[in-house]
Structure 1
Amino acid sequence: MSKFGRLGRVVVAGPSMEPTFRNGDWLLVAWGKQGRIFDSVVIEREDQPGVFLIKRLIRNDEGKYWVEGDNKAHSNDSRKWGSINESEIVGRVIMRVRKAR
């Protein structure tokens, strides 16, 4: 992860967002931006500081957010942990750059 002011990049590690994002893809992130429903967002769970996860924002239930990976068979997400707080959404994915294959 690297940050340049309000924009930064992250590198995808793992299969939880396949086929949308693949292991090794670079993502341009708008830090501090809350997503809208169905946006891909970066979360940092309160119980895992410093660990950033990319998930799809599925719904907002009175300030609690439900997030899931696109690859349901290989995603650790709200189906396991339940809803997350708004403060745990730390950025919104605005662009993907595929890694060279």
Structure 2
Amino acid sequence: MVPTLNPGDQLVVRYGAVVRPGDVVVMRHPFRQDLLIVKRAVERRAGGWWVMGDNPLVENDSREFGAVPDEFVVARAWLRLRPPPGAGQRSAGALLSWAASAVRPVRVAGSAGRSLSRRLRAR
């Protein structure tokens, strides 16, 4: 699965927004509450949200620390902003490519979001 976020991406978030399965959320790490992490909310369980990262090989998610209480979920990600290309990549093609993909919603919409949620639950 291709990661939703890449190094250098910025998020536009909504604090206090209702979280639904498939949403990307900003949350406090359950073991280090001064650390904010970004994960995908998979489903509601007893005790809070089951969250997972888009990289199945990294287990810094609910597989490691269990369900995350609601009060640890800080915000729901709304948009992803990619940084502009570096100074050496300012060709017209690079700028057009960047402009076409610089701002994207991070929520997986429609049936794709539901199937993603089902795939993550099955693992």
Instruction: Provide the TM-score with structure 2 as the length reference.
Output: 0.62
Structure 2 gaps of 5+ residues are 86-123
Find the counterpart in structure 1 of residue 68 from structure 2. 84
Greater helix share, structure number: 2
Q: CA–CA distance in 1 between the matches of 2:57 and 2:30? A: 24
Per-residue CA deviations over 1:16-41 (Å, capped at 9, x if unaligned) read xx521001101001122241111000
Distance 1:45 1:34, change over 3 A: farther
Distance 1:62 1:25 in 2: 32
State the distance in 2 between where 1:93 and 1:61 align.
21
Report what 2:37 is aligned to: 53
Higher strand content, 1 or 2? 1
Q: CA RMSD in A?
A: 1.9
Q: Percent identity?
A: 33
SS of the residue aligned with 2:57? Answer: helix
Larger radius of gyration: 2
Q: What TM-score results when the alignment is normalised by the length of structure 1? A: 0.74
Distance 2:61 2:70 in 1: 15
Count of matched residue pairs: 85
In the TM superposition, 1:1-101 aligns within 5 A as 19-101=3-85
Contact persistence 2:51–2:62 (CA under 8 A): yes
CA spacing shift, 1:34–1:51, aligned 2, 3 Å: farther
